Amino acid sequence: MLRWLIGGGREPQGLAEKSPLQTIGEEQTQNPYTELLVLKAHHDIVRFLVQLDDYRFASAGDDGTVVVWNAQTGEKLLELNGHSQKITAITTFPSLEGCEGKNQLILTASADRTVIVWNCDTGRQVQKVSCFQSTVKCLTVLQRLDVWLSGGNDLCVWNRKLDLLCKTSHLSDTGISALIEIPKNCVVAAVGKELIIFRLVAPTEDSLEWDIVEVKRLLEHQDNILSLAKINDWSFVTGSHVGELIVWDVMDWTVQACERNFWDPSPQLDAQQEIKLCQKPNDISIHHFTWDEENVFAAVGRGLYVYNLQTKRVIACQKTAHDSSVLHIAKLPHRQLISCSEDGSVRIWELREKQQLAAEPVPTVFFNMWGFGRVNKQASQPVKKQQENATSCLLELIGDLIGHSSSVEMFLYFEDHGLVTCSADHLIILWKNGERESGLRSLKLFQKLEENGDLYLAV
């Protein structure tokens, strides 16, 4: 670490940034995804994936179309055309209580300043709202109140029938970048550096009108807030462009914990200032969160950090988990974490208790043996920095999924059908467990044989 610091001072910045990337060889015994299916329907960057039910998902992107897919077969079910410009937000609007799965709606917002409500069973466009002053950047459904909110330069509240119930005044030109629901009919909106708490006033006997009022502005962040997530019933978390992670109390909106030093997991180091200089802010911006009961997982720049809520400290980190920014992460069962990045790869990690000495990863000997293999020069030096004492766990790379040729924007995990990734190369890839699929196919084969009456059981 020290050597790196000194070196960092001397070397040109570009080189200094090239901290070793952990790689895994071609042998990935724990990687279950041995089958892939490329789905092609979009003509531009695919940015959003949203799960509709157990087997369907929708994808949306810059080409303005929404495509509904069967996650099991990879079959294209519906193509929804209606937007003239790129889609900026998508969410599902679950149907009213009771009849689940029926008449499920999708809300899509687009840069053409419209919001369209789709029926994702029929592919029909249910309704279209085009009275927006600005592009809607986020959509949130408050299911309890059966209303939905759209956030652009202002915040609007709509009911299921797409009547505008109420709206705020113009908030900012940059607009609302993120929006979540918190208890007491409140929502948190991230507007630039600020977090604004709004309270939604439902109609009562006194007034039949809906209203939305600003309750509080939280100004702790130094830079633009990029990510906002509610992690449990009593707290939500925000992350900013300069690597500030703040855990807030849901009820009184106070700071529960704050972590600002994401470039370095050891907070007691003094050299903070110097290091911040030689590190681009982009490398420590917090793009995405995921969480489980104990930990918040943050995608910080190119790295992954695990922040323990109890101990209020980073328990594990992988400073260069990818070659470039991590865009989306998700927590899987069995302490697994999946991350996708602008470098076009998806990686599967496992959170392990730290042993005395972690085994060195197996070098990929044959990778460089021939002419063109030079691209990954770093690959053959599997330097895995031992973390400082502060980190008690480590993120072990157990597999990577290479398929996309451009930035992987998002992914979606299906318990039964595997992983869906979408990318800027216009493709969606369905990653499946080959062994399980093979078994399923055999099952289907014998079903078909039985249907055809071709199945004879041996006596």
Partner 1 sequence: MISAPDVVAFTKEDEYEEEPYNEPALPEEYSVPLFPFASQGANPWSKLSGAKFSRDFILISEFSEQVGPQPLLTIPNDTKVFGTFDLNYFSLRIMSVDYQASFVGHPPGSAYPKLNFVEDSKVVLGDSKEGAFAYVHHLTLYDLEARGFVRPFCMAYISADQHKIMQQFQELSAEFSKASECLKTGNRKSFAGELEKKLKDLDYTRTVLHTETEIQKKANDKGFYSSQAIEKANELASVEKSIIEHQDLLKQIRSYPHRKLKGSDLSSGEMEHTQDQPDQAATTSNPDECADTDLYTCRPAYTPKLIKAKSAKCFDKKLKTLEELCDTEYFTQTLAQLRHIEHTFRGDLCYLLTSQIDKALLKQQHITNFLFEDFVEVDERVVEKQASTPPPSSQDRPPSRSLGECPIPQVLISVGSYKSSVESVLIKMEQELGEEEYREVEGTGLSSFDPQENLDYLDMDMKGSVSSGESIEVLGTEKPTCVLATSDSQASLTVSLSPQVVRSKAVSHRTVSEDSIEVLSTCPSEALIPEDFKASYPSAINEEESYADDSEGAIHFQVGVSLPELGEAEEGSLENATSQTDSCCIGKESDSLQGPLSTPVPTLSDKNGVVSTPPQRYRQTDQGFHVDFTVENASPSSRDNSSEGCPAYELDPSHLLASRDVSKTSLDNYSDTTSYVSSVASSSWDRTPSCAHPAGPSSERHKKRAGQNALKFIRQYPFAHPAIYSLLSGRTLVVLGEDEAIVRKLVTALSIFIPNYSRYAKPVKHWVSSPLHIMDFQKWKLIGLQRLASPASAGTLHALSRYSRYASVLDLDNKTLRCPLYRGTLVPRLADHRTQIKRGSTYYLHVQSMLAQLCSKAFLYTFCHHLHLPAHDKDTQELLASRQASFLKLNLGLVNEDVKVVQYLAELLKLHYMQESPGTSHPMLRFDYVPSFLYKI
CA 148 to chain centre: 21
Looking at the Cβ atoms of 381 and 442, the one nearer to partner 1 is 442
DSSP 273: H
**121, 103 contact by CB (below 8 A):** yes
Residue 459 binds partner 1, judged by CB under 8 A: no
Residue 358 touches partner 1, criterion: CB under 8 A: no
Q: Which residue type is seen at 411?
A: F
| Residue with smaller CB distance to partner 1, 124 or 448 | 448
- Please report whether residue 375 would count as binding partner 1 according to CB under 8 A: yes
What sign does the CA torsion over 278, 280, 283, 289 have? Answer: positive
Give the shortest CB-359-to-partner 1 separation in angstroms: 17
Q: Name which position in 369, 389, 453, 459 contacts partner 1 (CB under 8 A).
A: 369
Q: Which residues contact 75 (CB under 8 A, 6 or more apart)?
A: 69
Size of the site for partner 1 (CB under 8 A): 47
Q: How many CB atoms lie within 10 A of CB 177?
A: 18
Adjacent-strand bridge partners of 431? 36, 419
Under the criterion CB under 8 A, does residue 443 sit at the interface with partner 1? yes
Least gap, CB of 80 to partner 1 (angstroms): 22
347 interacts with partner 1 by CB under 8 A? no
Segment contacting partner 1 (CB under 8 A): 9-17, 240-248, 300-308, 395-403?
Answer: 395-403
Radius of gyration of the chain (CA): 24
Q: Computed from CA positions of residues 211, 254, 240, 294, in that sequence, does the dihedral angle turn out positive or negative?
A: negative
377 forms part of the interface with partner 1 (CB under 8 A): no
Instruction: Draw the binding track, 22-41, toward partner 1 (x: CB under 8 A; -: no contact).
Output: ---xxxxx-x--xxxxx-x-
Q: Kindly tell me which of 62 and 343 has the beta carbon lying closer to partner 1.
A: 343
Residue of 222, 376, 380, 381 that binds partner 1 (CB under 8 A):
376
Compare residues 40 and 124 and give the one whose CB is closer to partner 1: 40
Q: Which of 373, 378, 382, 414 binds partner 1 (CB under 8 A)?
A: 373
Tokens 């309270």 correspond to what residue? 199
| CB-neighbour burial class of residue 2 (10 A; exposed 0-12, middle 13-18, buried 19+) | exposed
Please report how close the Cβ of residue 379 comes to partner 1 at its closest, in angstroms.
10
CB under 8 A: which stretch of 13-21, 193-201, 223-231, 432-440 binds partner 1? 432-440
Residue selected from 366, 380, 383, 416 as contacting partner 1 according to rule CB under 8 A: 366
Per-residue binder mask for partner 1 (CB under 8 A), 44-83, x = binder: ------------------------------x---------
Among candidate residues 186, 282, 200, 199, the one with its CA nearest the CA of residue 230: 186
Beta carbon nearer to partner 1, 208 or 458? 458
Name residue 23's amino acid.
Answer: T
Q: What are the tokens at 412?
A: 């979606």
Give the span between the Cα atoms of 266 and 282, in whole angstroms. 20
Q: Which residue has the tokens 């995608």?
A: 299
Among 404, 407, 413, 419, binds partner 1 (CB under 8 A): 404
Q: What is the DSSP string of 217-272?
A: EE---SS-EEEEEEEETTEEEEEETTS-EEEEETTT--EEEEE--TT-S-TT-STH
Residue 372 within binding range of partner 1, rule CB under 8 A: yes
**CA-to-CA distance for 86 and 45, rounded, in angstroms?**
9
Token pair for residue 204? 């009562």
Contact region for partner 1 (CB under 8 A) — 208-216, 217-225, 265-273, 442-450? 442-450
Contact stretch for partner 1 (CB under 8 A) within 159-167, 220-228, 241-249, 437-445: 437-445
- The nearest distance, CB 232 to partner 1, in angstroms, is 35
**HSE on the CB side for 449, CA within 13 Å?**
10
Closest distance of CB 403 from partner 1, Å: 5
- Comparison of 148 and 431: residue with beta carbon closer to partner 1: 431
Cα–Cα distances (Å) from 110 to 77, 130, 237, 315, in that order, read: 22, 10, 27, 39
User: Contact between 448 and partner 1 (CB under 8 A)?
Assistant: yes
Is residue 446 within the footprint of partner 1 (CB under 8 A)? Answer: yes
Position 224 contacts partner 1 (CB under 8 A): no
The residue from 125, 220, 332, 367 that contacts partner 1 (CB under 8 A) is 367
What is the rounded distance in angstroms from the CA atom of residue 17 to the CA atom of residue 301? 12
123 binds partner 1 (CB under 8 A): no
Number of residues in the chain: 459
Residues that bind partner 1 (CB under 8 A): 25-29, 31, 34-38, 40, 74, 364, 366-367, 369-373, 375-376, 399, 402-405, 427, 429-430, 432, 434, 437-439, 441-446, 448-449, 455, 457-458
